[in-house]
């Protein structure tokens, strides 16, 4: 497995990480614990060294699974987690809280569940407008000095917030959505990250599964699947967005690879400090995703993809209105 360094932080990780959320949360019933542990360990065996979780995934369950799975190989892996919510809420609402005392409480919980003495990368999960980002950065800076955290990250933060945080405590990585069907970060965020020397960790690099080609207009999701409330996954949106998958399939066929592999290889080709974190519950999908690291898209390939997609307008917002208000702050 090739490695990449997240910006100027010196934090070296596998070129693809594993997003562990879907093993416990978001996409239907949680995977059986032992099966989830087996998948994470299979990723380690195949060279993955970067694992992403958060206290809110479950809540708490995912950190426990990741901690147990990685305990035997702790010295070989980088574990990222996140704070930023009051948990748990009786109705599963997500209430923002990045007060300094709460950050410390969240970190202590994550350390315990993950069975580690130090978090390699700690993200603020969503920007909390009630707490100045400077206070958040100062708190994480103190945790780094105390040896409980190694690197500071932000998730779905806006450009000015990133700049302000970075001035207090260098930000190692930004985690936000980025893929062939969500390219907004190219406008302002990617140039800023390059300027400041911050790595980029795209989540949902396969469009929450849509770019794999395995989801059709009539696909039925489990009642607890988050995609049921995502406008982009409404049936009419899926019908319209199939054109994007069809274009990917054409390119993939020419290279004798899969649409998912083209989507991931395209992300890897954008910048050397981009590390996508696709998630899966299936071993064959894990292996398919990792195969993308062996694909090199040249300038002609990238032009072909750009031209194929230029005429396609993606239909549907990526979040319901209430969730959309929390991103890009």
Look at residues 135, 276, 107, 256 and name the one whose alpha carbon lies nearest to residue 206: 276
What percent of the chain is predicted at pLDDT more than 90?
A: 94
Whole-number pLDDT of residue 73: 98
Q: How many other CB atoms are found less than 10 A from the CB of residue 200?
A: 23
Distance CA(65)–CA(9), nearest Å, equals 27
Q: What are the structural domains of the chain?
A: 3-324 (3.20.20.100)
Sign of CA dihedral 292, 297, 302, 304: negative
Please report which confidence band the pLDDT of residue 326 belongs to, taking 50, 70 and 90 as the band edges: confident
Give percent above pLDDT 70 in the chain: 100
Compute the average pLDDT of residues 107-117: 98
Q: How far apart, in whole angstroms, are the C-alpha atoms of residue 260 and residue 87?
A: 34
**Residue with more model confidence, 131 or 321:** 131
Rounded to a whole number of angstroms, the CA Rg of the chain reads 19
Q: State how far the Cα of 303 lies from the Cα of 307, in Å rounded to an integer.
A: 6
DSSP 11-74: -EEESS-EE-GGGTSSBSSPPPHHHHHHHHHHHHHTT--EEE--TTTTTTHHHHHHHHHHGGGG
Distance CA 40, CA 282 (A): 10
**pLDDT per residue over 170-205, tens digit each?**
999 999 999 999 999 999 999 999 999 999 999 999
Active site residues: 57
């Amino acid at each position: 497995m090739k490695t990449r360094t997240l910006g100027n932080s010196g934090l070296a990780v596998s070129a693809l990480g594993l997003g562990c959320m879907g093993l416990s949360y978001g996409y239907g019933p949680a995977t059986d614990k032992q099966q989830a542990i087996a998948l994470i360990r299979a990723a380690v065996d195949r060279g993955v060294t970067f694992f992403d979780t958060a206290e809110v995934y479950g809540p708490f369950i995912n950190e426990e699974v990741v901690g147990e799975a990685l305990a035997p190989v702790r010295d070989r892996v980088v574990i990222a987690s996140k704070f930023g919510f009051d948990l748990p809420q009786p109705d599963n609402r997500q209430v923002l809280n990045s007060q300094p005392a709460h950050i410390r409480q969240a970190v202590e919980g994550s350390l315990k569940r993950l069975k580690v003495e130090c978090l390699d990368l700690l993200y603020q999960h969503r920007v909390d407008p009630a707490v100045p980002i400077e206070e958040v950065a100062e708190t994480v800076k103190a945790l780094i000095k105390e040896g409980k955290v190694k690197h500071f990250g932000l998730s779905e933060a806006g450009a000015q917030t990133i700049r302000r945080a970075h001035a207090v405590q260098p930000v190692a990585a930004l985690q936000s959505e980025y893929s062939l069907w969500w390219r907004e970060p190219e406008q302002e965020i990617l140039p800023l990250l390059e300027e400041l020397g911050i790595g980029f960790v795209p989540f949902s690099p396969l469009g929450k599964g849509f770019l794999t080609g395995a989801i059709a207009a009539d696909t039925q999701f489990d009642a607890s699947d988050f995609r049921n409330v995502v406008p982009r996954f409404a049936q009419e949106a899926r019908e319209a967005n199939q054109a994007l998958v069809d274009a990917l399939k054409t390119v993939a066929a020419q290279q004798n690879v899969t649409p998912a592999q083209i989507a991931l290889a395209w992300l890897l080709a954008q910048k050397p400090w981009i590390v996508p974190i696709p998630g899966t519950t299936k071993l064959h999908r894990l292996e398919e995703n990792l195969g993308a690291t062996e694909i090199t898209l040249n300038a002609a390939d990238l032009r072909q993809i750009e031209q194929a997609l230029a005429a396609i307008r993606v239909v549907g917002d990526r979040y319901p209105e209430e969730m959309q208000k929390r991103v890009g702050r």
